[in-house]
């Protein structure tokens, strides 16, 4: 994924965390404590010092803010957890299955990346990754080819 896409995603994460913290009347320190995170984990994200927070950190933040990872990252970037009744979850469930070959390619790319990085995930986690890569690629590539940079970025977020 290119640097501009990373910056857009980071800006969205920062904005979503900040907005949800204000809505819940939480300080940065309170969010970190309630989420069970080390001091400065959230602060570094909000300041832009943590360019690639781990999936575990983002999941802890989302859980504490009572939202989904999709809510924090946006529909095109999530895929590591099951969204909690969000509109984007409903959208992906109602999305027509129009490109079977793209799904096969997304499955193969994710499988190869997981094997290469020696990740051992549960089936539902792998299927969620495949779904996100499929949906992202379908939406962002006119030729319906898997965006391998995005797939790699999603898998790298597991580390």
Neighbours of 2 (CB within 10 A): 10
Measure the CA–CA gap between 2 and 153, rounded to whole angstroms.
10
Phi, psi of 157 (to 5 degrees): -70, -15
Report pLDDT for 104.
93
Contacts of 109 (CB under 8 A, 6+ apart): 133, 146, 148, 151
Per-residue pLDDT band at 88 (split at 50, 70, 90): very low
| Section 112-138 average pLDDT | 84
pLDDT at position 85, please?
A: 39
Q: Residue 156: which pLDDT band, with cuts at 50, 70 and 90?
A: confident
| Full set of structural domains in the chain with CATH | 3-78 (1.10.260.40), 100-156 (no CATH)
């Amino acid at each position: 994924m290119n640097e501009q896409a990373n910056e857009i995603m980071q800006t969205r994460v920062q904005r979503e965390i900040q907005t949800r913290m204000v809505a819940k009347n939480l300080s940065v320190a309170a969010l970190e404590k309630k989420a069970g995170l080390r001091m400065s984990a959230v602060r570094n994200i909000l300041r832009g010092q943590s360019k690639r927070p781990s999936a575990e950190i983002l999941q802890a933040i989302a859980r504490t803010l009572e939202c989904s990872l999709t809510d924090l990252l946006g529909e095109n970037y999530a895929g590591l957890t099951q969204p909690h009744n969000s509109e984007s979850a409903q959208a992906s469930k109602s999305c027509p299955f129009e490109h079977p070959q793209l799904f096969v390619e997304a499955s193969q790319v994710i499988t190869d990346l997981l094997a290469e990085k020696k990740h051992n995930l549960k089936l539902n986690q792998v299927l969620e990754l495949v779904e996100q890569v499929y949906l992202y690629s379908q939406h962002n590539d006119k030729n319906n080819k898997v965006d391998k940079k995005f797939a790699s970025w999603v898998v790298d977020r597991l580390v």
